[in-house]
Chain A
Amino acid sequence: MPALVIAEHDGRTLHRATLHTVGAASACACGIHMLVAGHDCAGVAAEAARVAGVSRVLHADAEHLGDGVAENLAPQIVALAGRYSHILAPASAFGRNVLPRVAALLDVVQISDIIDVLAPDTFRRPIYAGSAVATVRGLDAVQVITVRGSAFEPAAASGAHADIERVTVTADSGLTQLLERDMDGGERPELGSARVVVSGGRGLGSRENFESLLGPLAKSLGAALGASRAAVDAGYAPNEWQVGQTGRIVAPQVYVAVGISGAIQHLAGMKDSKLIVAINQDADAPIFGVADFGLVADLFDVVPALGGSFASPA
């Protein structure tokens, strides 16, 4: 039986996390279908049909599927589940919200945030904020899984010519209404898929410092901005920038941590970055335990110099 990947998208384009999820699915089953559920999202279905490894796209289109609310999406997925050995979604806010609802309706467990597929029923996943890694075997007939994108190579976005099948839409639950959605619509790259992330912590001291010091540095590096929870809680940065156990999990090519101590909950969100650079005035800060290159210095002395030396975005 093939695997079903639940596409994450915004109605216009496929979210990149979906490609990483296809990467994980290809290690689980020999055949991948993708569900694109939404409203007026034929463009996304067409995009999904080009993803390498996908042999069929199931397109469910209705107004009540447009906002991605779990109460409507979960029954839609459950209606299709019988044909699949695995159901996978990104371990993003989207997947984490919807997929456990699917699993419970199917009376099976969910295996959260897998980082490795050892066998079609055996997976590795971090626990205790990444302090340990559990190897688990699912005993259910269908494996319901969320995938940590950074742990899997993405499938190629083009190359396939999958069939697109319009599927019967399940009923509107009528339960939940989306009133508004505020997205960080800046010009910077998206935190989850950026090649470089510049993150600031409490050491920045204020929102003004955060912006005036890290903004230019991020700009010159073509980086996304991230933050520690302490920085978010203090109001230096918006919540969607939080990196860590309870924020975003990122693994960019370069992660620059500025004025961040390196609490285990923060490390949980960035320690798989390819290259980690840390600036902290405390030589004993735990962030240096994961940094490839550490600079013990006052960030107010060194960050302005850094920003000025990368003229054009890399």
Chain B
Amino acid sequence: MKVLVAVKRVADSNVKVRVRDDESGVELAGVRMGINPFDEVAVEQAVRWKEQGVATEVVCVTCGAAACGDALRTAMAMGADRGVLVETDLGFDLLPLHVAKLLLAVIRREQAQLVLLGKQAVDDDCNQTGQMLAALLGWPQATFASGVEIAGGRARVRREIDGGSETLSMPLPAVITADLRLNEPRYVTLPNLMKARKKALATLRPAELGVELSEHLQTLRVTEPAPRAEGVRVADAAALIDVLKAELAR
């Protein structure tokens, strides 16, 4: 089974991003970048399958500027076999729909049987790409997965939903999006990063994939969220009880 994992390069989730003064976006210059945490979980899952003999090959893919190749290097240092960078330079925002179309073309080329992605990216928080890709492929989807078993040409997926969880069974090929509780990703070691440099990383252009993308959305401005009013400290539990009683009596 060939597994394809889609990854995205994003601002490190421990960094508090700042909005640019001209409201054109968030300031990413000088911000530490890394692989989206959910995608890291997806890569880990694929690599474990490779180690267990469930997957024969793990191909990682990303879309974006040349620098996004870093995320592929990280994925390969974790154990992915090779990488594909779809290098885009669109003049407008690269949206989940665009990425899904590019991934569709890559999957057709690669003939993958299973696609893993993170359930959302921590920058735009869209939570769309996997579902859109599944739609374009006409494949079943299992989003927000916290447990996956592959057997007999089917995937059995435990997924987190509001108020509980559920288990789905679906035939392969399928698209699965990872929740953080699916696994604990391994650390990337320096020797593995060095080894990853020798792994194959192909760069493709959307045109080479026969994909044409158009603008669907404009970001008019990006602003700071409204601040909350300054709070107060209370001295003891009794004061807190008064506060709560007053509020609940309203």
Interface residues of A (CB under 8 A from B): 69-71, 74, 92-94, 96-105, 107-113, 122, 126-140, 173, 175-184, 190-192, 196, 221, 229, 232-233, 239-240, 245-246, 248, 253-254, 256, 264-265, 271, 275-277, 279, 288, 290-297, 301-302, 305-306, 309-310, 314
Q: What's the least CB distance linking B95 to chain A, in Å?
A: 5
CA distance A105 to B131 in the complex (A): 10
Complex contact A293–B243 (CB within 8 A): yes
Residue of B with least CB distance to A139: B216
Residue in A99, A180, A190, A297 whose CB lies within 8 Å of B166:
A180
Bitwise, B90-109 to A at CB < 8 A (1) or not (0) is 00000111001000000000
Q: What's the least CB distance linking A281 to chain B, in Å?
A: 13
Residue in B17, B136, B160 whose CB lies within 8 Å of A93:
B160
For the complex, is B151 an interface residue (Cβ under 8 Å from A)?
no
A-B contact pairs, 11 of them (CB 8 A): A101-B135, A104-B97, A104-B135, A105-B135, A128-B11, A176-B140, A181-B167, A253-B250, A292-B231, A295-B233, A295-B236
Residue in B128, B130, B168 whose CB lies within 8 Å of A69:
B168
In the complex, which residues of chain A have a beta carbon less than 8 angstroms from the beta carbon of B243?
275, 277, 293
Residue of A with least CB distance to B155: A176
Complex contact B244–A310 (CB within 8 A): yes
Q: A135-B223, A139-B217, A277-B243 are in contact. Are A104 and B162 (CB under 8 A)?
A: no
Complex contact B248–A254 (CB within 8 A): yes
In the complex, which residues of chain B have a beta carbon less than 8 angstroms from the beta carbon of A97?
131, 141, 143-144
Complex contact A314–B96 (CB within 8 A): no
Q: What's the least CB distance linking B130 to chain A, in Å?
A: 8
For the complex, is B224 an interface residue (Cβ under 8 Å from A)?
yes
For the complex, is B65 an interface residue (Cβ under 8 Å from A)?
no
Residue in B17, B156, B218, B237 whose CB lies within 8 Å of A302:
B237
Chain B, range 116-146, C-beta contacts under 8 Å to A: 119-120, 122-136, 139-144, 146
Complex contact A183–B247 (CB within 8 A): no
Complex contact B126–A112 (CB within 8 A): yes
For the complex, is B228 an interface residue (Cβ under 8 Å from A)?
yes
CA distance A276 to B228 in the complex (A): 10
Complex contact B228–A100 (CB within 8 A): no
CA distance A64 to B247 in the complex (A): 46
Q: What's the least CB distance linking B138 to chain A, in Å?
A: 9
CA distance A60 to B34 in the complex (A): 45
Interface residues of B (CB under 8 A from A): 11, 13, 16-17, 19, 26, 38, 95-97, 100, 119-120, 122-136, 139-144, 146, 156, 160-171, 179-181, 215-225, 228-229, 231-234, 236-241, 243-245, 247-250
Complex contact A182–B125 (CB within 8 A): no
Q: A127-B124, A239-B160, A265-B13 are in contact. Are A109 and B140 (CB under 8 A)?
A: no
In the complex, which residues of chain B have a beta carbon less than 8 angstroms from the beta carbon of A136?
217-220
CA distance A111 to B238 in the complex (A): 45
Residue of A with least CB distance to B235: A295
Q: What's the least CB distance linking B37 to chain A, in Å?
A: 9
Given contacts A96-B131, A133-B224, 20 further A-B contacts (CB under 8 A): A101-B132, A109-B96, A110-B96, A113-B125, A132-B224, A135-B222, A136-B220, A137-B220, A138-B217, A177-B168, A180-B166, A181-B166, A246-B119, A277-B240, A288-B231, A288-B233, A290-B228, A294-B232, A294-B233, A306-B237
Complex contact B169–A177 (CB within 8 A): yes
Q: What's the least CB distance linking B226 to chain A, in Å?
A: 8
Residue of A with least CB distance to B229: A292
CA distance A295 to B46 in the complex (A): 45
CA distance A133 to B181 in the complex (A): 27
Complex contact B234–A128 (CB within 8 A): no
Complex contact B131–A275 (CB within 8 A): no
Residue in A181, A233, A277 whose CB lies within 8 Å of B164:
A181
Q: A135-B221, A288-B231 are in contact. Are A177 and B164 (CB under 8 A)?
A: no
Complex contact A70–B236 (CB within 8 A): no
Residue in B38, B217, B238, B244 whose CB lies within 8 Å of A277:
B244
CA distance A190 to B136 in the complex (A): 35
Complex contact A271–B228 (CB within 8 A): yes
Residue in A109, A183, A306 whose CB lies within 8 Å of B216:
A109
Complex contact B131–A254 (CB within 8 A): no
Complex contact A109–B13 (CB within 8 A): no
In the complex, which residues of chain B have a beta carbon less than 8 angstroms from the beta carbon of A111?
217
